[in-house]
Structure 1
Amino acid sequence: MWKFGQASKTVPPLNEVLNGNADFGVAASELLLARAKGQPVIAMGVIFQHSASAMATLTDNGIYTPQDFIGQRLEMGDLSSGAETYAMLQAEGITPRQYEQIPSSFSLHRLINGDVSAVSVFVTNQPFYLKEQQIPYRLILPRSYGIDFYGDTLFTREKLAEDNPQLVEAFHRAAFKGWRYAFDRPGEVIDIILEKYSDFPFSHSRKHLEYEHREMEKLVLPNLVELGHMNIGRWHHMANTFVSLGLLQPDYSLEGFLWSPETPKPYFQRLNLQILGVVTICVFLMGLSLLTFNRRLQYQATQNQLLTKEKEELEKKIDMIFWSGDFGYWHWNRSKNVLYLNEKAAAALGGQHEAGLFTLQEIQVNESLISVRHFFSWFSEDIRKRRGRFELERERLDDEGQTCWLTCRGEVLDLMPDGSIKTSHGILLDNTELHRARQQVEQLTITDAMTGLLNLRYFMGRLEAFMQRVKFGEGYFSVALVDIDRMDMIRNEYGSYTADYVIETLSDIIQQQARPMDLIARYTDTSFAVLLPGTTAEETQSACDRMRKHIAHYRFDTSSHNFFATVTIGIVETQEFSSTDLSSKQLLHVAEERIETGKLKGCNVLITRNNQTLTSP
């Protein structure tokens, strides 16, 4: 008789199994932490090949990437239960000081009410409520940023597996047989749930259960991966992520963590083996007969033909997969120093030649085999250190000097007696277009379309990040607002096209006059904002006054007009405020007030602390 631990907000399944109140349970990444810290638990099989964890945000919140979390309120679990999200933030260079973490309430109320900007969810469940209420949302997945953890894992106590291996194997077989049945007959299983568990707390509708089935199928991959399959390399990747988050020490060990069945042969199976041995001896004696020998030869010949045909068909299927997926394939036999590359792999590595096997001697003699040299130069050293499946990425320059991105996905097939790699294989993918498209999208989300300067939304995020550093005693900065004088008169007198020309030209002048580390954004239709890190009042005043004079002396020439334009600049410094009064809104408010004061005093004016005015030409 076995007992199964169920999830609870008060008692986690891990504690139930370790305390003996249950024999089996399902846990997330906390199972790995427990094992690495000495808890006697073992993983029996993975249910979800990819984690269902994600961060959900409303479309109106303007959050597209993890960088947009800076300065936001995020509702999510603690570090051990939400490790994927914390690892994603760390990988993107975002520290806990740059956002506010709100403990998870296991609901979407705060997100919908606007109390938080994003909330941790399972993609198989909570998004359904947003779809049902027709609330536009966006999901930010950790695995899109290189953090790909396993999802739910079936586990038990190590001692139970040692004392009663038959029970553990029987439960493993029954559990994943049940999952297989559920994915093969989703409609039938949904009917059973609605009939027997409709009064269960948090029960779902048929439409919700059908949504869960579709989303779970994308994460479990039951038609591509054997149910329960797990790879020690993926577990090490997860453990290394925990090390980077400070949850594990670098000298962790996962020895004995993955369970493997050792089923004794039943009596009838042993009996069959004995009978098979006797029959084999009889066949050998009968083989002395020429007729039987000839028949066996004919049978063997037929089987060889079938195997050859099946091998050829399999090779054709593999070639079709590589061709349709535009993949480059490689196979490295390190013990023989032989590398195989197909044409796609050669092209991805910067070479042009037909598919073939290449020896180390050929590489040294034939200088045209740059693709082979590139493979050993870029990947071989890292591949030697890998075990199981792995993924590597390299940047290279093409013939025109443009940066290209190349991804190598592979698997170690065999090891030599000393533990070093013997053979491995994999595919090569040219991800250049994907990288460039991502860069273009990121650029569009942070820049102003007309001037190419930073847009206001991104500028405010960076301003808030600098503000937090100042509050923690890490430096100081100044902000200058630059407003174009008499812009309405320019637009009315010379037209909208000329007015736009003035805005674009002044944005170029401001960029030329600013330092490389200064942040420049389009603040309003006719004004700009400049953030000057680490500048004193005198340095800021000098830089802005030089900018003001340069603009005042610039002549605008059009086909029918020539004229001058001036700006009014308001400067504010963080040193003017105490740490309690210091905020982004307060800084900008003071700078805007100084712009208004300058406008009252005339054009071509610079206003600093205490409304000090500079108007010299």
Structure 2
Amino acid sequence: EKFSFCPPQVIAGGGADVVVDWMPSALATREKGVPLVNIAQPFKKSGMMLTCRKDTNITKPEDFRGRTLGVWFGGNEYPFLSWMSHLKIPTEGGKDGVTVLKQGFNVDPLIQKQADCISTMTYNEYWQVIDAGIPADQLVVFPYEEQGVATLEDGLYVLEKSLDDPAMVDKLARFVRASMKGWKYASENPGEAADIVLDNDASGAQTKEVQERMVKEIGKLVDGSDGTLDVAAADRTVETLLGGGSDPVITKKPEGAWTAKITDAMKK
């Protein structure tokens, strides 16, 4: 897992009022019985892509056949699996299929040539590849948005019971409004935002250059959003997940998995 804890588990156990999660994970959690509801969607677009070494001669998705592709799991594999399903490319290996390498949250498989392509985010791992010494002109990228298989990423989720409490609804509306105001400010002032991250980095591992670049890239995904969920994008996410081959992340269309109650209250 990316972290030592899982946001849906934390909120189900009462450890948080709000969690950030990707919609595929949240919908899978909801289907398993934890009543998560999306109250706001800061990221309007997906930042996920498959990044390949140019020297593999991969130029289009059809070229993935017979190759090894690095894929994140823990819920993040489903957009990939439904993309391959859409292309009718098996994911069990062989010359006509792809071999899936279970990828950690680093770029080593591409650097060490264990994989022809790996999963990257536009704001993070893609730049790690470049920082590791492979220039952009030696890479070929396949953004999920451009392939028509993007699913919604960072959204804010609460348990259903929070929406029944008027005081909590008011608090959540103020929280979302303030959060989106913060994202807007960070996008407009990336240097200052990076400094704030560095001031709170106990590890000392972060650099201003990396953090500022990340803020600028994430600004493209937030893209002026006030946090209101685009229902059409949510419906597309559901369709993508339902089309995920023989083992879809969800088995039926969810009911009540998102609400405009908080973003509507925020605008009053």
Tell whether the structures are fold-level matches, with TM greater than 0.5: yes
Specify the code of the residue in structure 2 equivalent to 1:107: N
| Structure-2 separation of matches of 1:55 and 1:24 | 30
| Structure-2 separation of matches of 1:133 and 1:96 | 28
Q: Structure 1: which 4+ aligned runs deviate by more than 6 Å?
A: none
Contact 2:49–2:144 under 8 Å retained in 1:
yes
Summarize deviations over 1:131-156 as a string: whole Å, max 9, x none: 23441222111222211322210111
Q: How many residues are matched?
A: 253
Structure 1 residue runs of 5 or longer lacking an equivalent are: 1-6, 267-617
Q: Which residue of 2 aligns with 1:141?
A: 143
Specify the code of the residue in structure 1 equivalent to 2:8: L
Specify the code of the residue in structure 1 equivalent to 2:126: P
| Structure-1 separation of matches of 2:2 and 2:105 | 12
1:43 aligned to which of 30, 38, 46: 38
2:19 aligned to which of 9, 17, 25: 25
Q: Which residue of 2 aligns with 1:230?
A: 229
State the Cα distance separating 1:89 from its structure 2 match. Answer: 1.5
Q: Which residue of 1 aligns with 2:117?
A: 118
Q: Which residue of 2 aligns with 1:73?
A: 68
Contact 1:42–1:258 under 8 Å retained in 2:
yes
State the Cα distance separating 1:25 from its structure 2 match. Answer: 1.0
| Structure-1 separation of matches of 2:144 and 2:17 | 32
Structure 2 residue runs of 5 or longer lacking an equivalent are: none
| Structure-1 separation of matches of 2:144 and 2:176 | 29
C-alpha distance 239-70 of structure 1, shift in aligned 2 (>3 A):
same
Q: How does 1:179-328 map to 2 (within 5 A)?
A: 179-197=183-201, 199-200=202-203, 203-222=205-224, 226-245=225-244, 246-250=248-252, 252-255=253-256, 257-261=258-262, 263=265
Contact 1:63–1:69 under 8 Å retained in 2:
yes
Normalised to the residue count of structure 2, the TM-score between the two structures is 0.85
Specify the code of the residue in structure 2 equivalent to 1:215: E
The alignment partner of 1:86 has SS state of: helix
Q: How does 1:160-175 map to 2 (within 5 A)?
A: 160-163=162-165, 164-175=168-179
Contact 2:242–2:250 under 8 Å retained in 1:
yes
The alignment partner of 1:167 has SS state of: helix
Summarize deviations over 1:549-597 as a string: whole Å, max 9, x none: xxxxxxxxxxxxxxxxxxxxxxxxxxxxxxxxxxxxxxxxxxxxxxxxx
Summarize deviations over 1:452-493 as a string: whole Å, max 9, x none: xxxxxxxxxxxxxxxxxxxxxxxxxxxxxxxxxxxxxxxxxx
| Structure-2 separation of matches of 1:168 and 1:147 | 31
Task: Quote the RMSD (CA, aligned, Å).
Answer: 2.3
State the Cα distance separating 1:234 from its structure 2 match. Answer: 1.7
Normalised to the residue count of structure 1, the TM-score between the two structures is 0.39
Contact 2:41–2:227 under 8 Å retained in 1:
yes
| Structure-1 separation of matches of 2:43 and 2:175 | 18
State the Cα distance separating 1:256 from its structure 2 match. Answer: 5.5
C-alpha distance 40-65 of structure 1, shift in aligned 2 (>3 A):
same
Summarize deviations over 1:262-308 as a string: whole Å, max 9, x none: 759x9xxxxxxxxxxxxxxxxxxxxxxxxxxxxxxxxxxxxxxxxxx
Q: How does 1:421-440 map to 2 (within 5 A)?
A: none
Task: Write 1 or 2 for the structure with the bigger share of strand.
Answer: 1
The alignment partner of 1:96 has SS state of: coil
| Structure-1 separation of matches of 2:207 and 2:188 | 20
Summarize deviations over 1:11-46 as a string: whole Å, max 9, x none: 211111111111111101211222345421111111
| Structure-1 separation of matches of 2:118 and 2:69 | 6
Contact 1:45–1:229 under 8 Å retained in 2:
yes
Specify the code of the residue in structure 2 equivalent to 1:10: S
| Structure-2 separation of matches of 1:8 and 1:75 | 15
Specify the code of the residue in structure 2 equivalent to 1:200: S
1:11 equivalent to 2:5? Answer: yes
Summarize deviations over 1:476-522 as a string: whole Å, max 9, x none: xxxxxxxxxxxxxxxxxxxxxxxxxxxxxxxxxxxxxxxxxxxxxxx
State the Cα distance separating 1:109 from its structure 2 match. Answer: 1.4
The alignment partner of 1:247 has SS state of: coil
| Structure-2 separation of matches of 1:232 and 1:154 | 15
| Structure-1 separation of matches of 2:124 and 2:104 | 15
Contact 2:69–2:118 under 8 Å retained in 1:
yes
State the Cα distance separating 1:8 from its structure 2 match. Answer: 5.3
Q: How does 1:486-505 map to 2 (within 5 A)?
A: none
